[in-house]
Amino acid sequence: MQKDLALFNEIAQELLADEVKNPVVRPIPIEELFDTLDLSLPEEATKDEDFIAALKGLVLNTPRTTTKHFFNQLFGGRNSRAMLGELLSALLNNSMYTYKVGGPMIGMEKLIINKLRDMVGYGEEAGGTLATGGSMTNFMAMLMGRDAFDKGIKGKGVSQTMTLYTSSESHYSIPKNATFMGVGRDNVRFVRTNERGEMLVEDLEAKIQEDITNGFIPFFVNATASTTVLGAFDPISEIGDICHKYKLWFHVDGAFGGSVLFTDKYRHLLKGVEKTDSFSINAHKMLGTPLACSVILAKDKKHLYHTFSNKASYLFQMHEEDFNPGKISLQCGRRNDALKFWTLWKSVGTNGLGRIVEHQFHLADMARDYIRNHPDYTLYSFDDSVCICFNYKGIPADELCNRLYDEAALMVGFGNFRGVQFIRLVTINYGNQTEDIIGFFETLEEFAEIHF
Ligand SMILES: *Cc1c(COP(=O)(O)O)cnc(C)c1O
């Protein structure tokens, strides 16, 4: 073990040094991949030096998601305290289902859940757990909503046509999960949005009424706190009133923007979140922990127990229910994703987490200012979002982004809204400063000058 820990350090140092020099790795074309790197799995043991060379080749050629040139997805940066927690989770290798196996880690996780519960505005009867990502925490919410509507579905399955509602800009996990849960993706109603990509509450109510008239059974509404492309926040409070009126389960998908919970300045974007039945948040997006760290909260934990608990005498043998979170889990074995959140939170405090989030909005404001002051750019996104959607000199966004990747200049992606395609810059890397955002635009401009 000592030898491999030393090797880990050696590889880490090499990677960190190379990341500074080469923030974007030159991608290996897929057709050359298996000839370029030694990825083969041999019949016999590999000699140490060959093993180390193969491993380094693999690591050093992997896309760099933590550098100042990575703007491609809704995560980025590297927080060393959070990383420390992640490494220790792997070293300890606990499974978070029982107090017997997880020990104090169960209590640590519980405190994270309780803090978040209080911040959302739920009461003591609320509960929560972690799952492998935002798609899965959304799935858990949808399953709870289904079972809350009809307790018998757990036994007999879905026999009615149940309908659920989400905006046309919401995450694809909503229709995908609808297939898994027996509701069917044809029964997902995509509610229209306004020009800012926010759900239109009138259209939500119209769709609910139409379904009722047609004999369908509405049961669930998902609102999104920061949509994936534009970063729009649905009007949670108004949607909550509709859900109350029609007695529908109300979930907020806060995978991306739920972290504004931590800042007084942007908390208003979640106004009315206490009206929800469930709420999900990814700490691996705006808060910057390593992948994955996704929390689901339920206003009343009885729903978590109803939907997810299962008898398992070989597993649940000791301690009270509350300290055996395996009873409310989607999984059996569950890795300790909470520790990296705890190491981060413990080290910077709740206010520090708020500053992390505010800094990203600040960088986004800078980026929007830059675009507004430069006539070669067209801006498509709005304030109060860390997604900056734009085009440059009318160059097709997909061609520009793909070329930037091929030439190892920048990692940035493109998106669509109402038939327009644009580049989506996400200022989610807390380690970036204003000059890094200016640097992004300058790199892009120089690149476009040469290649287009
Ligand atoms: C990222 C995202 C998800 C999915 O989360 P994963 O952890 O990637 O599965 C769900 N909803 C929204 C709004 C997201 O941005």
pLDDT score for 318? 80
Q: Which of 142, 173, 341 to mutate to test the pocket of ligand 1 (most atoms within 8 A of CB)?
A: 173
- What's the pLDDT tens digit per position in 367-389? 999 999 999 999 999 999 999 99
| Residue of minimum CA distance from atom 2 in ligand 1 | 255
pLDDT score for 320? 80
Tell the burial category of 155 from Cβ atoms under 10 Å away from its Cβ (0-12, 13-18, 19+). Answer: exposed
pLDDT score for 248? 98
Report, as an integer, the average pLDDT of 114-129.
Answer: 98
Residue 353 has pLDDT above 90, yes or no: yes
Q: What is the rounded average pLDDT for all residues in the chain?
A: 97
Report, as an integer, the average pLDDT of 20-30.
Answer: 96
pLDDT score for 267? 98
Q: Quick one: which atom of ligand 1 is closest to the CA of 284? A: 7
| Residue of minimum CA distance from atom 4 in ligand 1 | 134
- What's the pLDDT tens digit per position in 327-341? 999 999 999 999 999
Residue 317 has pLDDT above 80, yes or no: no
Q: Quick one: which atom of ligand 1 is closest to the CA of 132? A: 7
Are 178 and 184 spatial neighbours (Cβ–Cβ below 8 Å)?
Answer: yes
166 Cβ below 6 A of ligand 1: no
Are 162 and 229 spatial neighbours (Cβ–Cβ below 8 Å)?
Answer: no
CA distances from 241 to 90, 107, 117, 170 (A): 44, 35, 21, 20
Strand partners, 165: 189, 221
Confidence of residue 312 (pLDDT cuts 50, 70, 90): confident
d(CA 375, CA 368): 12
Q: Quick one: which atom of ligand 1 is closest to the CA of 138? A: 10
Q: How far is the CA of 173 from the centre of ligand 1 (A)?
A: 8
343 Cβ below 6 A of ligand 1: no
Residue 188 backbone phi and psi in degrees, to 5: -95, 125
For the chain, the straight-line distance linking the first and the last C-alpha, in angstroms and rounded, comes to: 52
Confidence of residue 316 (pLDDT cuts 50, 70, 90): confident
Residue 310 has pLDDT above 90, yes or no: no
Q: How many CB atoms are located within 10 Å of the residue 90 CB? A: 10
Residue 416 has pLDDT above 80, yes or no: yes
pLDDT score for 321? 84
Strand partners, 250: 221
Confidence of residue 346 (pLDDT cuts 50, 70, 90): very high
pLDDT score for 275? 98
Report, as an integer, the average pLDDT of 186-212.
Answer: 98
171 Cβ below 6 A of ligand 1: yes
pLDDT score for 264? 96
User: How much is the pTM?
Assistant: 0.96
Residue 210 has pLDDT above 90, yes or no: yes
Percent of the chain with pLDDT over 90: 97
For the chain, what percentages of helix, strand and coil (3-state, to nearest 5) are there? 50, 15, 35
Q: Quick one: which atom of ligand 1 is closest to the CA of 135? A: 9
251 Cβ below 6 A of ligand 1: no
**366 alpha-carbon distance from chain centroid:** 24
- What's the pLDDT tens digit per position in 216-248? 999 999 999 999 999 999 999 999 999 999 999
- What's the pLDDT tens digit per position in 67-81? 999 999 999 999 999
Residue 110 has pLDDT above 80, yes or no: yes
Q: Which of 171, 278, 285 to mutate to test the pocket of ligand 1 (most atoms within 8 A of CB)?
A: 171
Confidence of residue 319 (pLDDT cuts 50, 70, 90): confident
Residue 311 has pLDDT above 80, yes or no: no
